[in-house]
Structure 1
Amino acid sequence: MNAPDRYERFVVPEGTKKVSYERDTKIINAASFTIEREDHTIGNILRMQLHRDPNVLFAGYKLPHPLQYKIIVRIHTASQSSPMQAYNQSINDLDKELDHLKNAFEADMLRFSRDY
């Protein structure tokens, strides 16, 4: 079969950065972030979190090709912020949200296991 190994889809090769940043030269306060070895799951979550930021004017992502295991996230911010600040803030917010979700799940699992 021509399909690559599943391992190749998720593990970042040595010497490759997980996230790379490229500033847009035509639009002020715009940039692209290339995230290696990710797909629609992370792209859509990150895009939605970026839309919650009032300083973000545009946030979107794309998969360049189905056999290239990366996403490209474009961010355009107002002058009060920068794409890098918006990206870092959204990652931190998602980390807190997912940590809260994990803690709530573990607490419910513990409570459920005591009941039975």
Structure 2
Amino acid sequence: MEHGSFQDESQATFSLTDEDHTLANSLRYTLNQDPRVTFCGYSIPHPSDARVNIRVQTTGVPARDVLKDSCQDLMLVCQHVRSTVDQAVMEFKNKQWVESMNIK
């Protein structure tokens, strides 16, 4: 859900339900890496409410587009991390298997 001025699409506050610091802080970091972003921050209105509000202000590009791009970038980072971990686990298991075959 988006709140903000309809005349100025370069700034908006997005409310994400069923989310917490994990996603919000990751998105904040990713958004702040984008040169189109002039300000980004998030808040959690109340600890018992599973909701985060993310404020995005840009150089003029619609904030919605920048948030969407950042979500896609974050997804790619997560896919890379997952792939790297899976590869490391596979290599470790293969090494363990080879070592167990060489027991004398």
Q: Would the TM-score normalized by the shorter structure come out above 0.5?
A: yes
- If the TM-score is normalised by the length of the shorter chain, which range does it land in? 0.7 to 0.9
Cα distance in 1 for residues equivalent to 2:34 and 2:6: 23
Cα shift at 1:25:
5.6
1:52-98 Cα distance to aligned partner (Å, 9 max, x none):
0000000000000111110000000002x110111000000000010
Q: Which structure has more RCO (C-alpha within 8 Å, separation ≥ 6)?
A: 2
Cα shift at 1:23:
2.4
Divergent runs of 4+, >3 A: 24-28
Cα distance in 2 for residues equivalent to 1:100 and 1:63: 28
Whether the 8 Å contact between 1:32 and 1:75 is mirrored in structure 2 is yes
Which structure shows the bigger proportion of residues in helix conformation? 2
Aligned Cα root-mean-square deviation (Å): 1.5
- Structure 1 position 42 matched with structure 2 position 42: no
Taking every aligned residue pair, what percent have the same amino acid on both sides? 27
In structure 1, the residue matched to 2:101 is none
Q: Provide the TM-score with structure 1 as the length reference.
A: 0.78
1:22-64 Cα distance to aligned partner (Å, 9 max, x none):
2236866110100001111111110000000000000000000
Cα distance in 2 for residues equivalent to 1:53 and 1:67: 31
Structure 1 segments unaligned to the other structure (5+ residues): 1-19
Q: Provide the TM-score with structure 2 as the length reference.
A: 0.86
Match for 1:33: what amino acid? F
Whether the 8 Å contact between 1:63 and 1:70 is mirrored in structure 2 is yes
In structure 1, the residue matched to 2:11 is 30
Larger radius of gyration: 2
Cα distance in 2 for residues equivalent to 1:28 and 1:57: 14
In structure 2, the residue matched to 1:88 is 68
5 Å-filtered alignment, 1:4-23, equals 20-23=1-4
Match for 2:11: what amino acid? A
- Structure 1 position 107 matched with structure 2 position 87: yes
Cα shift at 1:21:
1.5
Structure 2 segments unaligned to the other structure (5+ residues): 97-104
